[in-house]
Structure 1
């Protein structure tokens, strides 16, 4: 397998996000599309345990795969459910819960649910769901052929917890331990020949670099049931970003180094983001 690929950098339309979302951290759609096409066949099952705004699940729908997701934020789940073919396959839960996230979400089938605008409340089940999504009131996840995901990022100097929506205290060491636990739960969901592909990058901030990609590779490799196979570097064509081929490196760093800006890094710096023109897809095999 080639370990370097170039993909279009076209990003989703920011106007498609709900008003309550302040920053667009969605993946470039070409990344999950490439992963799904590379590692699965039509009809295969794909899980994103950090579903976010549903980029991976929507890609699975477009490519004829069965997409499932876990997401901790009910508002995001509502947003995704309005935009995918099988809304009930996207559940509110914690990635570290794995299979039980589908069970605990299914127990609230008829309860009220926060809508995607964060204000109205509506039934948990969409009337347009397929019959299979209603049967028994349960979501019974299959053995997944692929986990395709981009975990929430953390820098080594941050003191908030990404696994709690950055709303509580945390540490980088605790984050990496949580990542190990989350991917052990993923391994339990994978088919015997299943694969986990994790989209991540290092993060440049001011004069420094947080080596998130390499640290996360080690943390996931520590998860029981997964073994690191390789990294694939994804570079990006300009797409709709508007970089010039002869632009100096400093131009891409402007927001990273901006004096007086409390946000010292952002997803819009570099062709990929976080100060870089590339990201990594970390590939892990399911092992018994």
Structure 2
């Protein structure tokens, strides 16, 4: 995959087209594709359509029910906190892609990793928790697995989120490269959007 990926935004920045591009590049039919922050299920829905085995976690029950209604295999998503990943019985994972819930460095009392449901937000703790999630995920990864994290740098909030996540996760996984997402309609709230690629 080249260093720049040109995509149409369509009102979102974690689109089916983005997921399709990475699944086509890094996976084969039958591979287990994991999303620790499944959200509205983009990764899982695309993976299932492309003949991969989707697997995801989502902390908010209403989103879990929504995703289950759109999957052929409702068991592909679990209602779980990604921070408990080490206590879950997960299969070997061939590929992981996600866009984690965002946090700004300042003025952000909600904790993204609780689904923004608690007011214990702390930026450094958030980054440390993300690193811990990926440290546990490393033990589930196939030797040749790739891990992709989609994040942007947030200029309106003076937060280098993509770089900070990359630095944190690089402590537990091997950083390989970053791919710039060139949206046809860039959002005003970020400078650039990236997919950070790691290996175990």
**In the TM superposition, what whole-angstrom CA distance separates every residue of 1:37-79 from its partner, at most 9, and x where no partner exists?**
1111111110000001101000101111111001111111111
CA distance in 1 between partners of 2:56 and 2:188 (Å): 25
**Closer/same/farther in 2, CA of residues 192 and 219 from structure 1, 3 Å limit:** same
Match of 1:250 in 2: none
Structure with the higher helix share, 1 or 2: 2
Q: Residues 162-173 of structure 1: matches in 2 within 5 Å?
A: 162-168=112-118, 169-173=120-124
CA distance in 2 between counterparts of 1:155 and 1:58 reads 29
The residue aligned with 2:6 is 6
Q: Does 1:284 align with 2:198?
A: yes
Say which one has the larger Rg: 1
TM-score using structure 2 length? 0.92
Q: Distance in 2 between matches of 1:153 and 1:274?
A: 16
Structure 2 partner of 1:195 = 146
Determine the structure 2 residue equivalent to 1:161. Answer: 111
3-state secondary structure, aligned to 1:56: helix
SS in 1 for 2:109: coil
For the residue of structure 2 that corresponds to 1:52, the secondary structure is coil
- Which structure's relative contact order is higher, taking Cα pairs within 8 Å and 6+ residues apart? 2
The answer to whether the 8 A contact 1:98-1:188 is kept is no
- Where does the alignment leave 5 or more consecutive residues of structure 2 unmatched? none
Alignment correspondent of 1:95: 82
Note the residue ranges of structure 1 that are not aligned, 5 or more in a row.
Answer: 13-25, 104-140, 239-270
CA distance in 1, matches of 2:10, 2:121: 33
Deviations, residues 143-197 of structure 1 (Å, cap 9, x unaligned): 1110111100000002221111222222101100111111112212211111100
| Structural RMSD (CA) | 1.7
C-alpha distance in 2 between matches for 1:65 and 1:11: 26
Give the aligned partner of residue 132 of structure 2.
Answer: 181
Whether contact under 8 Å (2:153, 2:192) holds in the other structure is no
Question: 1: CA distance between counterparts of 2:130 and 2:64?
Answer: 21
